[in-house]
Structure 1
């Protein structure tokens, strides 16, 4: 699994930059109005479904990160939670996998 670590880092970076580009573009066109952005996310049933899909995935990831962090006592893994809710699941999930697969010697215990 160590060979996957750089891939997860690349995906975390991509997952931070690519969605943020769209958010910043939207804010540039509409001003920094979070309420309007949330309203835009629910413009139709398809986008509402996607919002709920990502929200549920974010909550599931958070529960997993909390459980795994409490079990392994590897506290840097908690960085995935703000990454998930401030950027998105596209950053938070690969970031957590990158952090979780740290090199041997600092490896998290496997339960």
Structure 2
């Protein structure tokens, strides 16, 4: 495996595990209420700005993935979309780059 592919894979794994640690810690402390978490994300202007920043990045990444999959026919790369919205851009972007950089057969 090429060194950059290994870096992308390592970043995707880190981007899945690190944020999940905080999400699970929050759920354990506050109960498993998704709407309460959404409310916590909008507790002040700074957190709302971060939420919108990540939302716009996630939508942009999704559009990029779909447009490239339509051209390249790399259907496996579509799994980066649910990874982006269920885990975060920190997982979805490096996962997509990992899948996109695989050798062409």
**If the TM-score is normalised by the length of the shorter chain, which range does it land in?**
over 0.9
User: What residue number does 1:54 align with?
Assistant: 54
Is 1:79 matched up with 2:60?
no
Distance 1:67 1:35 in 2: 32
SS of the counterpart of 1:102? Answer: coil
Distance 2:30 2:69 in 1: 39
Unmatched runs of 5 consecutive residues or more in structure 1: 107-111
Dislocated runs of 4+, deviation >4 Å = none
Q: What's the CA shift string for 1:51-109, capped at 9, x where partnerless?
A: 00000000000000000001100100000000000000000000000000002x43xxx
Q: CA deviation at 1:3?
A: 2.6
Q: RMSD of aligned C-alpha atoms? A: 0.8
Aligned length: 104
Q: Matches of 2:22 and 2:30 in 1, distance apart?
A: 12
| TM-score, with length taken from structure 1 | 0.91
| Equivalent position of 1:29 in the other structure | 29
